[in-house]
Structure 1
Amino acid sequence: MTDALAVKDKDAELVRCDACPVLCRIRPGKTGACDRYANVAGVLTRVDPLVVTEQAAVQGRNVVPFLAGSEAWDGQLMAPQPAFVTGIGAGTTYPDYKPAPFIVASEHQGIDMVTVVTEGIFSYCGLKVKIDTDRYLGPEQAAVRVNGEAIGHVTTMEYGSQMLSLGGVHHLTGGSKKEGTTTCDAMLKLANKQAVTVTIDGGSEVVIQAGKAPIVNGTPEQRMRVGCGSATIGIFAKQWHGHVDEVIVVDDHITGVLSEHQAGRFLDMPLAGIRVRGRKSTPGRYFQVAEPGLGWGGTNVSDPLDIIEKIDAATAWPGMRLLMVSTTGEHSAWYVLDDQLKPQPAEMPAPITKVVERIAENCEPSLCTVLFMAGAGGSLRAGVTENPVRLTISVKDRLTRVTSGGAPVFVWPGGGITYMVDVLAMPDNSFGYVPTPALVAPIEFTMTREDYAALGGHMDHVVRLEDVLRETRLTRLGPNSLTPGAA
């Protein structure tokens, strides 16, 4: 028979966590579902350390971590600070009405400042991923999947980079429970600079990791294009001049033909009479010469001669020298036309080899870039002021500076506080999660004490920086060299 009193005493030892809507009941010595809060001797306790970035002396000079500035402060909210309390490990304002966990007062160059520090619970958040590659990843609007679950989609391709949009409230909450948890897990890993393998409908398998080269269908990418085919012609036309009669730069987007191109016309090059497939845009610039793929210049071409539609016998001549090259220099071939005006492979001359190598040299290393994007809504703003719209106005008026884990952010124009931050600029493991599902991200608002009072801030909760630095669960970090202004 169960001892009812024993059961009651056991339940009395439980702690109810109110840091998110899940409301975990945590037993002594255990953590909640997010692993961020624990029952420590009957007290709800944030278990991760509170992260503080500090100035450091490097080769006899001061370095300001995460915040740019100069010794002579010009009044901007980017002044050097001996220590900056980040939102990492701070705790949340949930259920919205509570003031931020840390509202920190400090003095800089004789100016009283306040930094409001919190961790935001973001259901409305996503990742914008830039993948530097000419490889075909998949059609625009195609679903991006992890373990079969859609977590985002392919968006518009930009110059030398493929773009993915991942996460968002519809994937987190609008689909099945499995879709939401898979999306949350993938976003958490990517935001914390870990690798995630995704598959794209109708396209490729890609391993994505912030700051690392993408791996497309098992092959690590090395470099992003120097430019489109037309731009490559323009950049290197003068260096080819006199060593070649025609250059065709194979590209999925804009294939360039030197003798027709304006650069070739300026160099008084005679037309070579080689017509490539595709739709002619302007002289020397062709669209749609082949389908997208993993071959030359992001096309599905493995033999570059396949894109040649015809060679005009009235214009071309035997012995004509032809270079075909991709926009990264990864693929190149040298041909000489025979008596029947058919391109025959030949050994590439040294001056041409040098320019092909220079194309490769001018291609920057391929990397994956992960930007976290979120809307700082009611709970965040209410943690700063009882009249949240005043904080929004203050941010728009640039009286309040927004950072995330100490890293600078871009705040989008328009309504609300919608911001983006490069995860590489943030300390490692800056992000957490709650199983609602949603991501947890640090955010800080810095302003003068006078401005904080004017926007109706929680002045009775302001604490001194010195008191915060006495916290026992404190991690002190030096500068992050990847953060702008931290060098």
Structure 2
Amino acid sequence: MAEKASARPEKIRCDACPVMCYIAEGKLGACDRYANEGGRIIRCDPLTVLDARIEAGGEIRPFLRADWDGRIGAGDLDITAIGAGTTYPDYKPAPFIVSREVDGADFVTVVTEAIFSYCGVKVKIDTDRHLGEECALVRAGGEVVGHMTTSEYGSQMMSLGGVDHLTGGSKPEGRATCDALLRLCNREAVELSVDGGATVVVQAGQPPIVDGVPEARMRVGCGSATIGMFASQWKGLVDEVVVVDDHITGVVSEHQAGKVIGWPDTGIRIKGRRSTPGRYFQVAEPGLGWGGTNINDPLEILNPWLEKKGARPGLTMLMVSTTGEHSAYYVLDDDLVPQPAEMPQELLPSVELIAENCEPALCTVMFMGGAGGSLRSGVTRNPVHLTRSVQARRTKVTVGGGEAYVWPGGGITIMADVLGLPGNAFGSVPTPALVAPLEFTTSREEFRALGGHDASVRSVDDVLESGGEYGSSARAVGRKP
């Protein structure tokens, strides 16, 4: 008689997020964050502790009995929410509510990995290159994940994610959005394409790569500002200077900065819309050329010169971009047409000075999210008290131990630079939603006043020694200065 087949291993249900996976022994859930180990749901990544005694970027793992020396100095050690686990479902207190003494005062830090459907990233890309029109759609893997927003001084801005892209569109759109957000927040490189515009590789803390070309410099200022900063550097060395810029092109002979140092008229005429003297808008279309315009020959922005206004044969002109990456020198011929000439050696330092004053072009990724019911209920039985305590600055919010900006107004809407967190601090769940580490720190007195889960408060020693609901693995990471 055939031997009866062995029973299939029993699966257990994980309640760490709304997906509620059934996980077999030794397997991971759909989020890759929780697993079934010996019939118990555990967190796969260790609880992360910031330790001032470790060099920034370094880490020790495991951090428990084998390596921890038992010393806790005020301000030396902070427990983050990275690896802590979640508050889901809403009725549970946060995974760790930790009491510690700082300068003689009793403080409580509540840590939880919050599930965010209402979240996204704001991306600042330091470049004059034209990435796309304002409101143009931004795509990752062909799916719409956000849009271009208003340009800032020397930077192009994107708004990516949000609940409409995560859950309001198709399943592929939601998955692509969640994947792009997760990778950006974890400091990975993500290729994004802008409808009608450029393709750009974005990575927090790294130069943007626009249409395959890495950016090196952020502009020193607009063309007008560049004239204002460096007009005195050019006086006596050249008859005219034009700083080409997509937004405000500057002309030194007309600009107030030139007038106050006695710069004579040259008879130059610039295409575009004249603003105040020496400042021109719309000299060309946006693009990847000189000063963020679509031109490769700067003479295209000039109209014929006027002899009666000072133009003459032999008049010299420097044309330069706002980053100093492009520069050219011209001399007017007998027909008052500018002809290319070799740049005089005495002008080179002024071009180099523009470049020197340009900061490195980088990408900045700011996580932004609205703290909802689940994580607030993990702190207090009356969530509005937490909201009001945060808004009144009696409770401090951090993200993975990094500084967070709390927006004024209703709710708890936060924004944090992902470079202020340890690596791989963010996770996701397939709802789809992002998982972000969140910490609330307040005095023990305030914690009790806002109805906090006081019975769940534990000491730092106990947390490091015993772990939590999802396991006891922990690591120490050097805190950024």
What's the TM-score, normalizing by structure 2? Answer: 0.93
Give the letter aligned to residue 403 of structure 1. Answer: T
Cα deviation per residue 1:358-395 (whole Å; 9 max; x = unaligned)? 00010000000000000011111100000001101111
Separation in 2, partners of 1:216, 1:279: 28
Which residue of the partner structure matches residue 365 of structure 2? 370
SS at match of 1:351: helix
Separation in 1, partners of 2:4, 2:16: 30
Separation in 2, partners of 1:4, 1:285: 88
- Are the equivalent residues in 1 in contact too, given 2:74–2:101 (CA < 8 A)? no
Which residue of the partner structure matches residue 71 of structure 1? none
2:42 to 19, 41, 45: 45
Give the letter aligned to residue 373 of structure 1. Answer: M
Shift of 1:5: 10
Which residue of the partner structure matches residue 176 of structure 2? 182
Give the letter aligned to residue 164 of structure 1. Answer: M
Alignment of 1:133 with 2:127, yes or no, is yes
Alignment of 1:162 with 2:159, yes or no, is no
Q: Alignment RMSD, CA only?
A: 1.9
Which residue of the partner structure matches residue 456 of structure 1? 451
Which residue of the partner structure matches residue 473 of structure 2? 473
- Are the equivalent residues in 1 in contact too, given 2:34–2:41 (CA < 8 A)? yes
2:299 to 284, 297, 305: 305
Which residue of the partner structure matches residue 388 of structure 2? 393
- Bigger Cα displacement from structure 2, 465-474 vs 108-117: 465-474
Separation in 2, partners of 1:373, 1:475: 26
Shift of 1:33: 0.1
Shift of 1:81: 1.7
1:251 to 239, 245, 248: 245
Which residue of the partner structure matches residue 70 of structure 1? none
Separation in 2, partners of 1:103, 1:195: 35
Q: Describe the shift of the 1:37–1:248 C-alpha distance in structure 2 as closer, same or farther (beyond 3 A).
A: same
Aligned 1:273-352 pairs, distance under 5 A: 273-314=267-308, 315-352=310-347
Q: Describe the shift of the 1:3–1:163 C-alpha distance in structure 2 as closer, same or farther (beyond 3 A).
A: farther
Separation in 2, partners of 1:90, 1:446: 15
Which residue of the partner structure matches residue 25 of structure 2? 28
Which residue of the partner structure matches residue 197 of structure 1? 191
Cα deviation per residue 1:255-311 (whole Å; 9 max; x = unaligned)? 000000001110111111111100000100000000011100000111110100120
Which residue of the partner structure matches residue 214 of structure 2? 220
SS at match of 2:409: coil
Give the letter aligned to residue 131 of structure 1. Answer: I
Shift of 1:2: 12
Q: Describe the shift of the 1:215–1:80 C-alpha distance in structure 2 as closer, same or farther (beyond 3 A).
A: farther
Shift of 1:351: 2.1
Cα deviation per residue 1:12-42 (whole Å; 9 max; x = unaligned)? x211011111010000000100011111100
Shift of 1:55: 2.0
Give the letter aligned to residue 367 of structure 2. Answer: F
Alignment of 1:266 with 2:260, yes or no, is yes
Q: Describe the shift of the 1:5–1:385 C-alpha distance in structure 2 as closer, same or farther (beyond 3 A).
A: farther
Which residue of the partner structure matches residue 68 of structure 1? none
Which residue of the partner structure matches residue 144 of structure 2? 150
Give the letter aligned to residue 432 of structure 1. Answer: G
Give the letter aligned to residue 109 of structure 2. Answer: T
- Bigger Cα displacement from structure 2, 308-317 vs 203-212: 308-317
Shift of 1:244: 1.1
- Are the equivalent residues in 1 in contact too, given 2:313–2:332 (CA < 8 A)? yes
Separation in 1, partners of 2:396, 2:382: 18
Cα deviation per residue 1:226-270 (whole Å; 9 max; x = unaligned)? 000000000000010111111011000000000000011101111
Cα deviation per residue 1:396-444 (whole Å; 9 max; x = unaligned)? 1111110011001000000001000000010000000000000000000
Q: Describe the shift of the 1:80–1:357 C-alpha distance in structure 2 as closer, same or farther (beyond 3 A).
A: farther
- Which segments of 5 or more consecutive residues in structure 2 lack a partner in the other structure? 60-72
SS at match of 1:186: helix
Give the letter aligned to residue 323 of structure 2. Answer: T
Shift of 1:82: 2.4
Shift of 1:3: 11
Aligned 1:361-440 pairs, distance under 5 A: 361-440=356-435
Q: Describe the shift of the 1:2–1:32 C-alpha distance in structure 2 as closer, same or farther (beyond 3 A).
A: farther
Which residue of the partner structure matches residue 87 of structure 1? 81
Separation in 2, partners of 1:2, 1:133: 72
Percentage of matched positions with identical amino acids: 64
- Are the equivalent residues in 1 in contact too, given 2:54–2:478 (CA < 8 A)? no
1:19 to 16, 19, 22: 16
- Are the equivalent residues in 1 in contact too, given 2:243–2:322 (CA < 8 A)? yes
Runs of 4+ with deviation above 2 angstroms: 1-7
Separation in 2, partners of 1:469, 1:238: 62
Q: Describe the shift of the 1:22–1:3 C-alpha distance in structure 2 as closer, same or farther (beyond 3 A).
A: farther
Give the letter aligned to residue 249 of structure 1. Answer: V
Separation in 2, partners of 1:255, 1:292: 13
- Which segments of 5 or more consecutive residues in structure 1 lack a partner in the other structure? 66-78, 481-485
- Bigger Cα displacement from structure 2, 349-358 vs 230-239: 349-358
Separation in 2, partners of 1:365, 1:401: 32
Separation in 2, partners of 1:307, 1:104: 64
Which residue of the partner structure matches residue 56 of structure 1? 53
Shift of 1:318: 1.2
SS at match of 1:179: helix
Separation in 2, partners of 1:245, 1:405: 56
Separation in 2, partners of 1:198, 1:437: 20
What's the TM-score, normalizing by structure 1? Answer: 0.92
Give the letter aligned to residue 370 of structure 2. Answer: G
Give the letter aligned to residue 122 of structure 1. Answer: F
Separation in 2, partners of 1:225, 1:348: 22
Give the letter aligned to residue 414 of structure 2. Answer: Y
Q: Describe the shift of the 1:278–1:3 C-alpha distance in structure 2 as closer, same or farther (beyond 3 A).
A: farther
Q: Describe the shift of the 1:259–1:433 C-alpha distance in structure 2 as closer, same or farther (beyond 3 A).
A: same
Give the letter aligned to residue 202 of structure 1. Answer: G
Cα deviation per residue 1:188-231 (whole Å; 9 max; x = unaligned)? 00100000001100000100000000000000000010000000
